[in-house]
Chain A
Amino acid sequence: MNTPISWIKAYVPELDVKLAEGTQEEKEAAVKAYVDAMTLSGSHAEGYELKNKYIEKVVVGKIEKIEQHPDADKLVVCQVNIGSETIQIVTGAPNVKEGDLVPTVLDGGMVPFHHTKDNKYELVQGGNKITAGALRGVPSAGMMCSACELVRDYSLFKDEDRNADPEAGVYIFPADADVKPGDDVTNALHLNDAVVEYEITSNRVDCFSMIGMARETAVTFRKPFEEPKITVKGNGGDVNDYASVEVLDTDLCKRYCARVVTDIKLAPSPLWMQERLRAQGIRPINNLVDITNYVMEEYGQPMHAFDLDTVAGHKIVVRRAKDGEKFTTLDGIERELDKDVLMICDGEKEIGIAGIMGGENSMVTDSIKNLLFEAACFDGTNIRLSSRRLDMPTDAAGKFVKGLDPNLALTAINRACQLIEELDCGKVVDGVIDIYPEPVKEKVLPFEPEKMNKLLGTDISEQEMLDIFKRLELVYNEAERTLTIPTFRQDLTCVADLAEEVARFTGYDNIPVTLPGSSTVGKLSYEDRICGVLRDTCEANGFSGAMGYSFESPKAFDKLCIPADDKLRQAVTISNPLGEDFSIMRTVTLNGMMTWLSTNYNRRNKAARLYEIANVYLPKALPLTELPEEKLKLTLGCYGAGDFFDLKGVVEELLDKLMITQGVSFAPTAEYSFLHPGRTANINKGKLNLGYIGQVHPEVCDNYDIKADCYVAVLDLATLCMLAREDKKYTSLSKYPAITRDIQLTISQMPTVSSENGSYKLTGTYLGDIEGCIKKQGGNLLEECSLVDEFENRVVYHLSYRSAKETLEAQKVNGIVKDTLLALEKLGIDVSRAWSEELYGPK
């Protein structure tokens, strides 16, 4: 919402913002003080523009005489009367005529904008300074300037009636402009003003108007608010003899007001009205159009003007359209309607889409004689949905969607008719057609000062509260202790709303600063604590935290080579996604991880190690019958930083940190289509699966354009949380010596994967089985079992046995190792190199 301070002052005459005098800094400070005060009382100003910034020594000049420049075809020499004297100015402007009144920059003056070589106008910081000089040898004491050099939105100064194009030359004041030579141009063009841009919140429908912002200003600065006094003289007659209105769908049209104006005389509207419209970014057209636009800006009530002579039967019918019905709006576009769109019709046909746009068939043309004004209150939600379905976000719709006060319609239509009379634009017929079946009632709320003070934590006096409410036009009933809320304040519905009014006009700054009384215990959830441990451990192992999106493209499944019938493809789908790439909620985390690895790889980062803790979304049924299951996953991914076993080491470290160690196994598997069938393991604890680890399938790497081996691991957070322990206990250090043995084993078949009928088969002896066997035989005497050497199919394990209670006898250990070797032999391991007859006896 843009509001010129000058327009606000029309209703708050005592508002004191000094914009005409003083230095640039003083003017800036004056606007800023106004804007800050408004922001602190709840009208958040997003910015402002000081219209006379960098305009100095620019006056109205009258061109008395024009002569050709002696040495230049395109230049003329003008004698310009600037009131106090006549000065000579040389100009290249092609549009000057003797007798024209033009803005004239005197020697030492400045304008804000500069005409660039590529025919644009740009702001010159500090101002575009003009000095006296000579053009081709002829002295020139200043410059006549164009609208483009004075104002930002110069296109609004285009005036077809006067054939005035702002870019065609200097600005020429209209013949009827109330200006004379020597006048300050900032006054003449109403530039001693500032336009403030407010962010209006959706609850304050009333503030989408000058009247509303003026009322806020008046209360903020505690100055009187003077609403326009609306009187329509009228020219006799009875509106009911000219037109009739029937509202069939009253649910969508709370009120419909109509008035008739005859003997229309089209003409340009006065300069002051044009100026105010321009400040709103609205191009003045003619008095009639300008009045409807003016009232819309002033009161926030959209209006529509129909050419009464085109309205069949001079009858207006308000009803829903029919499905599939076609209608051409005044912009010449044919629209297809449906039964939820409200239409304005005449005795025979549709003539406008209610609240959105009029029809081509009833639009006001230059030949208009009689006019029917409409000011109605249409249902905001209906207009919102219709304008969206029709893709017609018009200005009028923008006002209606906020839900207007039905009482505004009558005020606005009378205001428009008053302006018709004041501007001598036509003859207003007496009487208003007003279809208003259920007038809104003013709400009455109890006046509860102690409750308000309790909510705010303040000690504001009753009198002060009542003073604010009075300024806000709430009517206090002392006997009942109630406040009657005017209908334009639909947002005030309870004591909290009233408390806010008190708070914002006494100042949020004046509310004390305290802390809630009772004490509570702050804490993280258990899951958050576990996540913290995981993050620390990932980072200690070189992995950095990543963050990504929860939605992705269904193509991700193809990129990850996930089979067509895989359950992972059952994804929660967004009905209105930003595009296919963000259309489903992920069921697997790897697309994100692979995308990031790919970003790193293709930006030539030598290595990347990332982890992410975030959800997958698993539907219990599709389409959804309830919320999907959100499962938190820890995903690790890397390339260029070691191999499978480096990543496995990190996973082991993570499990160790959570004290998930007993019974953990890495079970070889080829079940994940996106992973290398010979380099993947399920991470299990007993029969429970915690996740998986593996090398990414080379085909998947190709799909993500990564030409390096990638490794990933995915762990389920809920399972980790369930298994994690925090009860660390000390085990005493054994005082007794250890006995060690190194055993060399020969494996006949190393692990390998083979493909049969499209499915993979894993065969061979795994070290995991060997270690399992050693551990089982060693029991709690086995202190260490580590792989210390390997060559081809031979491995060397270093075993260490120790008792916490006694010095182990060599014989006992020999027995254990002997049993271990025999058990290994049963697994198909050749133990002959480990067998010592001296220690274990003959085999």
Chain B
Amino acid sequence: MNETLERIKAQALKQIEIASDANSLNDLKVAVLGKKGELTQVLKGMKDVAPEDRPKIGQMVNDARSAIEEKLNKKLEELTKRARSAKLMRETVDVTRPGRRLIQGKRHPNQIALEDLERVFIGMGYEVVSGPEVEYDKYNFELLNIPADHPAKDEQDTFYIQRGKTTEDDILLRTQTSSVQARIMLDAVNPEKERTLPIRVISPGRVFRADEVDATHSPSFHQVEGLVIDKNITMADLKGTLAQFAREFFGEKTKTKFRPHHFPFTEPSAEVDITCFKCGGKGCGVCKGSGWIEILGCGMVRPHVLEMCGIDPEEYSGFAFGIGLERITLLKYEIDDMRLLYENDERFLSQF
């Protein structure tokens, strides 16, 4: 009995030793330790053993079993390790190969600039509104203090629309988003409309001027108009608002400079320069060496304009500003030719 046990044990250990994969180990486990396995058979022959010897034999069988199991587990572990390592080697890839990407489209740079701008003003409590692109003279000019024979009408080179004799007013392609100012003010004092005073809006949109297409001109471009009407609005508020806008849009360190200017519908009026966001004011190509970049026109809404739109200038005051969107886009991305914005070449659009 003892010898048989020793033989089974020695044979099993040897076979474990030479096993080369997990499957043969498993077969061996069944053949030796399984229900019908050799060692189990030995236990089954216990009935032939004298009762006093049984504990001893039992002990011997158990010892052999543990020795085999231990060896078996060790070997299994070793083989698993080896197999895993072989698998890892096989699976090596060249990680410097390019990744696979879903092709995503890109926002138009003008739209990105617009949304950035809208975000800043929405944060400051402005509602984004819109108005028609084909517009009556009344809203584009007359209510903005630009009467019929005003030279500003020439300066802006307006596109007029062919119209029937039944319309009282000229129809034109709006030359400025300021046209929305008049509409919003009239709505605010019209009891039939939802809008009321105070007003705090921006109005982005397309405008048209008879400029031939070249690197810096386009007959169609975009503006963002801003209008605030409330009691006690001052020019200091206008300065503060635009200074805050400039810091949030162009960077925390941006400084603003207000230069007197003239617009028919604001008084006092100003043009606003910001410190160049490229060089910070030292002077570079973007700012043509001056350190400053002109970005917008603004001013206090003329009392006469308020009056024409039904708002009492003794009670209310306000400010307005207008930003040329393309100008900001071109500056921000250092695009040197405005025509690129309207060609829609994939190689251009995919850069944003």
| A contact set with B: CB distance below 8 Å | 39-42, 44, 201-204, 380-381, 384, 388, 401-402, 454-458, 494-497, 499-500, 503-504, 508-509, 511-525, 528, 532, 535, 538-551, 572-578, 582, 585, 596, 599-600, 603, 605, 607-611, 614-615, 617, 621-628, 630, 641
**Interface contact B107-A574, CB-CB below 8 Å:** no
Instruction: Provide the residues of chain A in CB contact with B121, threshold 8 Å.
Output: 522
- Which of B13-21, B28-36, B184-192, B260-268 is near enough to bind chain A? B260-268
- Assuming A457-B235, A511-B235, is B261 touching A544 (CB within 8 A)? no
Q: Is the CB of B220 within 8 A of A550?
A: yes
What per-residue 1/0 map shows which CB atoms of B86-120 lie under 8 Å from chain A?
Answer: 00000000000000001111111011000100100
The answer to whether A576 touches B210, judged by C-beta atoms less than 8 angstroms apart, is yes
List B contacts of A572 (CB < 8 A).
134, 161-162
Partner of A574, one of B128, B136, B159, B244: B159
**What per-residue 1/0 map shows which CB atoms of B322-334 lie under 8 Å from chain A?**
0000000000000
Q: Report whether A535 and B111 are in contact in the complex, using a CB–CB cutoff of 8 Å.
A: yes
Q: Roughly how many angstroms separate A532 CA and B259 CA in the complex, as a whole number? A: 36
Contact, CB under 8 Å: B344 / A496: no
Q: How far is the CA of A809 from the CA of B234 in the complex (A)?
A: 76
Highest count of chain A CB atoms <10 Å: which of B132, B152, B212, B268:
B268
Do the beta carbons of B259 and A520 come within 8 Å of each other? no
Set of chain B residues within 8 Å of A518, measured between Cβ atoms: 198, 230
Whether the pair A456, B105 counts as a contact (CB closer than 8 A) is no
Extra 13 A-B pairs, beta carbons < 8 Å, given A388-B154, A515-B241, A517-B232: A380-B151, A454-B234, A456-B234, A496-B267, A500-B268, A504-B260, A512-B239, A545-B108, A545-B349, A574-B162, A603-B347, A617-B133, A623-B162
Is there an interface contact between A548 and B344, defined as CB atoms closer than 8 Å? yes
Whether A547 and B133, one on each chain, are in contact in the complex, defined by CB atoms closer than 8 angstroms, is no
Partner of B342, one of A204, A538, A547: A547
Tell me the count of chain B residues lying within 8 A, CB to CB, of chain A.
88
B135 to chain A, nearest CB (A): 7
Known: A514-B240, A549-B219. A627 touches B346 (CB 8 A): no
Give the Cβ gap from A499 to chain B, nearest Cβ, in Å: 6
How far apart are the CA atoms of A611 and B124 in the complex, in Å? 31
Q: Separation in Å of the B330 CB from the closest CB of chain A?
A: 13
CB <8 Å contact, A519 and B125: yes
Interchain CA distance A644-B105 in the complex, whole Å: 18
How far is B239's CA from A605's CA once the two chains are assembled, in angstroms? 47
On whether the beta carbons of A516 and B126 are closer than 8 Å, the reply is no
A16 to chain B, nearest CB (A): 23
Stretch at the interface among B42-50, B65-73, B165-173: B165-173
Q: Is the CB of B344 within 8 A of A600?
A: yes
B267 touches A547 (CB 8 A): no
Please tell me if B293 contacts chain A, counting CB pairs below 8 Å. Answer: no
- Give the Cβ gap from B155 to chain A, nearest Cβ, in Å: 7
Residues of A within 8 A of B105 (CB): 538-545, 609, 611
Known: A44-B271, A525-B128, A630-B134. A515 touches B237 (CB 8 A): yes
Q: Say which residue of B106, B118, B171, B269 sits within 8 Å of A524 (CB atoms).
A: B118
Residues of A within 8 A of B136 (CB): 627
Q: How far is the CA of A623 from the CA of B128 in the complex (A)?
A: 32
Chain A residues with CB below 8 A from B260, complex form: 40-42, 500, 503-504, 508
Which listed residue, B128, B239, B346, touches A528 by the CB 8 Å rule?
B128
Q: Which of B332-352 contact A (CB under 8 A)?
A: 341-347, 349-350
Q: Does B317 contact A (CB under 8 A)?
A: yes
Q: A574-B159, A630-B134 are in contact. Are A544 and B349 (CB under 8 A)?
A: yes
Q: Please tell me which stretch of B3-11, B74-82, B278-286, B300-308 contacts chain A, meaning at least 4 of its Cβ atoms lie within 8 angstroms of it.
A: B300-308
Closest 9 CB pairs of A and B: A457-B236, A457-B234, A42-B260, A201-B262, A500-B268, A545-B108, A522-B122, A623-B164, A381-B149
In the assembled complex, how far is the CB of residue A550 from the closest CB belonging to chain B, in whole angstroms?
6
Nearest Cβ distance between residue B204 and chain A, in whole angstroms?
A: 9
Q: Which residues of A contact B152 (CB under 8 A)?
A: 202
Write out the residue numbers on chain A whose beta carbons fall within 8 Å of the beta carbon of B228: 516
C-alpha spacing A578/B158, complex, angstroms: 11
Which residues of chain A are within 8 angstroms of B236 by Cβ–Cβ distance? 456-458, 511-514
Which of B135, B230, B261, B267 touches A44 (beta carbons < 8 Å)?
A: B261
Within the complex, the shortest CB–CB distance from B346 to chain A, in Å, comes to 5
A535-B107 contact in complex given A525-B129, A544-B349, C-beta closer than 8 Å: yes
Interface pair A39/B259, CB less than 8 Å apart: yes
**Bound complex: CA of A574 vs CA of B240, how far in Å?**
41
With the chains together, A497 CA to B268 CA distance in Å? 7
Among B173, B262, B271, B346, max chain A CB count under 10 A is at B346
Output the least CB separation between B252 and chain A (Å).
15
Q: Which of B149, B163, B212, B302 has the most A CB atoms < 10 Å from its CB?
A: B163
Report Cα–Cα, A457/B233, bound state, in Å.
8
CB pair B346–A608 under 8 Å, yes or no, is yes
Given A511-B239, A514-B240, A574-B173, answer yes or no on A202-B151 (Cβ-Cβ < 8 Å).
yes
Which chain A residues lie closer than 8 Å to B303 at the CB level?
A: 494-496
In the complex the two chains form, is A600's CB within 8 Å of B270's CB? no
User: Are B135 and A627 in contact, with the CB atoms below 8 A?
Assistant: yes
Taking a contact as CB atoms under 8 Å apart, the answer to whether A625 and B219 are in contact is: no
CB atoms of A627 and B262 under 8 A apart: no
Closest to A605 in B: B346
Which of A41, A497, A574 is in CB contact (< 8 Å) with B161?
Answer: A574
Residues of chain A with a CB closer than 8 A to B262's CB: 201-204
**Which residue, B161, B300, B342, has most C-beta atoms of chain A within 10 A?**
B161
Query: Does B51 touch A at the CB level, under 8 Å?
Result: no
| A600 contact from B132, B162, B317, B346, Cβ within 8 A | B346
Q: In this complex, what residue of A is CB-closest to B152?
A: A202
Contacts of B155 in A (CB 8 A): 202
Contact residues in B for A539 (Cβ distance below 8 Å): 104-107
How far is it, in angstroms, between the C-alpha of A204 and the C-alpha of B151 when the chains are bound?
Answer: 12
Whether the Cβ atoms of B259 and A599 lie closer than 8 Å is no
Q: A455-B300, A457-B237, A615-B133 are in contact. Are A578 and B344 (CB under 8 A)?
A: no
CB contacts (< 8 Å) of B126 on chain A: these are 520, 522
B233 x A496 contact (CB < 8 A): no
- Closest chain-A Cβ to B132's Cβ sits at a distance in Å of 6
**Pairwise interchain contact B345-A516, C-beta atoms closer than 8 A:** no
Q: Are A625 and B167 in contact (CB under 8 A)?
A: yes
B134 touches A628 (CB 8 A): yes
Determine how close the nearest CB of chain B comes to the CB of A28; give it in whole angstroms.
Answer: 12
> Considering only CB atoms, which chain B residue lies closest to A202 in the complex?
B151
Most chain A CB within 10 A, of B152, B239, B317, is at B239
Question: In the complex the two chains form, is B166's CB within 8 Å of A625's CB?
Answer: yes
Contact A547 B135 (CB under 8 A): no
Given contacts A515-B240, A544-B106, A596-B344, whether A575 and B235 have CB atoms under 8 Å apart is no
Chain A minimum-CB-distance residue to B305: A496
Q: Does B249 sit within 8 A of A, measured CB to CB?
A: no
Which residue of B106, B233, B302, B342 contacts A548 across the interface (Cβ within 8 Å)?
B342
Contact B344 A494 (CB under 8 A): no
Chain B residue at minimum C-beta to C-beta distance from A538: B105
Contact present for A625 and B210 (CB under 8 Å): no
Alpha-carbon separation in the docked complex, A614 to B130 (Å): 13
Given the interface pairs A44-B271, A521-B125, the reply to whether A617 lies near B134 with Cβ below 8 Å is: yes
Contacts of B300 in A (CB 8 A): 455, 496, 499
The contact of B107 among A528, A542, A545, by CB within 8 Å, is: A545
B346 touches A522 (CB 8 A): no
Bound complex: CA of A496 vs CA of B265, how far in Å?
A: 11
Min C-beta distance of B211 to chain A, whole Å = 8
A456:B268 contact, CB within 8 angstroms: yes
Question: In the assembled complex, how far is the CB of residue B144 from the closest CB belonging to chain A, in whole angstroms?
Answer: 14
A-B contact pairs, 9 of them (CB 8 A): A203-B264, A381-B149, A384-B151, A509-B257, A521-B127, A525-B129, A544-B344, A575-B161, A578-B219
Q: Shortest distance in angstroms between A206's beta carbon and chain B's nearest beta carbon?
A: 13
Give Cα distance in the complex from A201 to B297, angstroms. 13
